Amino acid sequence: MLTRIDHIGIACFDLDKTVEFYRATYGFEVFHSEVNEEQGVREAMLKINETSDGGASYLQLLEPTREDSTVAKWLAKNGEGVHHIAFGTADVDGDAADIKDKGVRVLYDEPRRGSMGSRITFLHPKDCHGVLTELVTSAPAEPSGH
C-alpha cells in the first residue's frame, strides 16, 4: 500500500546552484547527498517534513554525472524541472507486482538501490498519464547507539 509522497525528483544542470536556490528561497537544507554511480547522478535530498508513517517527504535534486544517464537525456530533451514523483511503500516488491498486474509497465525486473539505501523501481510514464512514477521502500532505520 502506498503511504505517502516520498519525494519529488527535480532534474537540474547545476546541483550546487539549485540547492542554494531552495535554501535561500524556501529555507530548505540538505538532509542527505550522494553520488549514485548506477543511476549516473549526483543528488541532494532536501527534507520537507516528517510523515505519520515514520518516513519523511523530500525534494530530490538530481544532476547527471555522465551524458548517457537517464537524467542527462531527460534534461537534454526537457530542460530543468520536475522529473518524477515517488510514492513511499513498505513493500516495493509487492506493490510493484500488484501494479504490474493492473497493466502498468514496471521498468525494473527487480528493485534497485536508491537514495539513502532505499529500494526503488519506476513505472512507465506512458502508463501513468505522462508522469514517471517511482516506488520507494526506505532503508530500515538504524538503531540509535547507547
Active-site positions?
Answer: 7, 43, 60, 84, 134
What percent helix, strand, coil does the chain show, rounded to 5? 25, 40, 35
Cβ count within 10 A of residue 77: 7
Residue with cell 554525472: 65
Task: Please say whether the beta carbons of 126 and 103 come within 8 A.
Answer: no
Which residues partner with 59 through β-bridges? Answer: 8, 46
